[in-house]
Structures are given as C-alpha cells and as structure tokens.
Amino acid sequence: MLKGKTAIVTGGTRGIGFAIVKKYLENGANVAIAGSRQESVEKALAKLPEYEGRIMGIWPDICSQEEVAEAFASVKEKFGSVDILANNAGLSSRTSIYEYTLEEFTKIMDVNVKAVFVCSQAAARIMKEQGGGAIINTSSMVGEYGQPSGCAYPTSKFAVNGLTKSLARELAKDKIRVNAVAPGVTRTDMLSALPQEMVDRISAGIPLGRVGEPLDIANAYLFLASELSSYVTGITLRVDGAAMT
C-alpha cells in the first residue's frame, strides 16, 4: 500500500511508534526512525535487519527548526522524497495542578505540540515541492474528555486536534492531507508494567472489552497514510474501543 513512498516516524523507537515503523515497512515504504537519542535509534534499527537499505535513523531535537529541517533534508537525500510524516513522539503526565512546575508544563507542551508544528512545517515544505503528502498527528482520547490530573497532557492533545484541523485546511491546496489518530489505552511499556488485574479492570470498562494493541493503532496510521484515505483530511480518528473516559 505504500510502495515507493518514504515516511518519517517521530518517537519511532518503541511503543506505538515502533509498530507504525514496522507496519509502514511491511507495506513497502522506506522509513526514517526519528528518536531523541542516537543510541535508542540504533537499537531500534538493529531489530529490523531484514529491511536494511529501506530504513535509516535520525535524532534531531524535534523542537528545533534548524535541526529538524536538516534531518528531514537528509531523508529526502537518501530516499528521494518525504511523503508521510507520523508525528507520534509524545510525553504524558499525571502531575496535580498543585504540584506542577512551569518547566514540566512547558516540556509536555513542547514535545506534544511545538514539535508537531516544527516537524509538520519541515515536512510540508518538502511535500509542497513534491506535489503532496500525508501528515498524521497523535492525539489521545483524553484530547476529547480531559483527565483528572496531569492537565498539560490533555491540553496538549486538544492543541494537536486544533493544529490538525487548521493545517488540513491550510495545506489542502498543496495536496497535503493532515489527520490525527486518537488512541485509547494502549498496551505499551507503561501499561505492561501494571499488574494484570489492573489491566483487566481497565479492559472491563472499555465496550470492546480489551485495551488497544500498538498494532490496532498502527493500522489506523496505515489507512491515513495510504491512498485508501485519499479524500480524508482534517479528522481525528478515534481508535479506542469506544472508551468513554
């Protein structure tokens, strides 16, 4: 479904991001894994030896316009284009409003919102020149409902929804589609560390009766990157088993 396309996946070293990387590779794309540290990027690349020649790693500061522009240019230079950007990197928080420092609030907003702006800008400049592309952002179910602590996290995901809708309208004329995926509770490292009975309790509250797997989320990223969604732009696609909170 993505043969001949090139994708950049931020936070592609683990969790949902790594599942997106694998899904895109399986579907024929060239993929650049963007991580925060060279070491974690190289570890992720080492897990995918069968795709040598179709993958590369980059580790720019995703909040720096200069570093991101340079890293994305290196992807275009290696593979010839940048057709898909999956803005997956994210930081969550559970801190109470009474305890938050401005530094912590700002860090969440920087990684979850500013970096999405910076990476989308760099990718859109390349995509416009090429005649089109697809940008997929990562929201969350808490970007619809909020959450009872860690207010920076849902606030950042509401902002991602706004950025998605606005960029979809601004970039449509350049044939760049912009959508978001809003995962529900998904089995990544954080969830795997919880006792099974707690996971069972969470699952019981979800109408589909289970938490999401990274593959469930990656499938939505495939749909929104591929031609199957050629007339879809500006949406936030919920992938949450109909969870309510």
Contact at 8 Å (CB) between 121 and 65? yes
Shortest spacing between CB 175 and ligand NAD, in angstroms: 26
- Site map (CB under 6 A) of ligand NAD, residues 96-125, x = contact: ---------------x--------------
Query: Alpha helices of 101-148 — where are they, by DSSP H?
Result: 102-109, 115-130, 142-145
Is residue 100 part of the annotated active site? The answer reads: no
Q: Tell me the residue type at 125.
A: R
Contact stretch for ligand NAD (CB under 6 A) within 1-9, 89-97, 119-127, 230-238: 89-97
Residue 14 as a binder of ligand NAD (CB under 6 A): the answer is yes
Shortest spacing between CB 16 and ligand NAD, in angstroms: 4
DSSP 106: H
Residue with tokens 């938490």: 211
Contact at 8 Å (CB) between 160 and 174? no
Q: Tell me the residue type at 133.
A: G
Annotated catalytic residue: which of 24, 153, 221, 231? Answer: 153
List, in sequence order, every beta strand (DSSP E) within the chain.
6-10, 30-34, 55-58, 84-87, 133-138, 176-183, 236-239
- Cα 166 to Cα 195: distance, rounded to the nearest angstrom: 40
Contact stretch for ligand NAD (CB under 6 A) within 5-13, 119-127, 195-203, 219-227: 5-13
Contact stretch for ligand NAD (CB under 6 A) within 122-130, 178-186, 199-207, 223-231: 178-186
Interface positions with ligand NAD (CB under 6 A): 10-11, 13-17, 35-36, 62, 88-92, 111, 138, 140, 183, 185-186, 188-189
